[in-house]
Amino acid sequence: MFQAFVSAPFQVDGLGSTSTHDHHAHAKNMMRQVLLTRPGERVNRPQFGCPLYQHLFHSEDEGLAAAAQHEVRDSLNRYLSDVLKVHDVRVAIEGARLEVTVVYNLLGDDTRRTAHFVR
């Protein structure tokens, strides 16, 4: 069964209707929202988010990347465990460039997918 979700941010498609996307695009948008929200940024949900930004501009080492990977996995499992299962997380931090790769599958679907985020 196909389920459509309203695009976030809200958009209008070429026909003047509300733009939608499928469950996989919705899951990727939710992951992006968790990863790019700093804890304390939301007034009513101060714990929501992932503390990735605290690692930017630090010296690059394996310990820093391992800590960031743990934080990403922990945040995604905490806020999206009812939607997806995380299998692998890779984080690369180079100065102000942040790359996160998440291997996951949606619950109820055994197909593994990869989401790549660059900031």
Tens digit of pLDDT for each residue in 60-80?
667 777 888 999 999 999 999
Residues facing residue 117 across a β-bridge: 100
For range 12-18, the mean pLDDT: 74
Interatomic CA distance for residues 29 and 8, integer angstroms: 7
pLDDT confidence bin for 1, thresholds 50/70/90? very low
User: Which domains are present in the chain?
Assistant: 5-118 (3.10.450.40)
pTM of the model: 0.78
Angle between helices 62-80 and 23-36 (to 10 degrees): 130
Give me the pLDDT at residue 102, please: 97
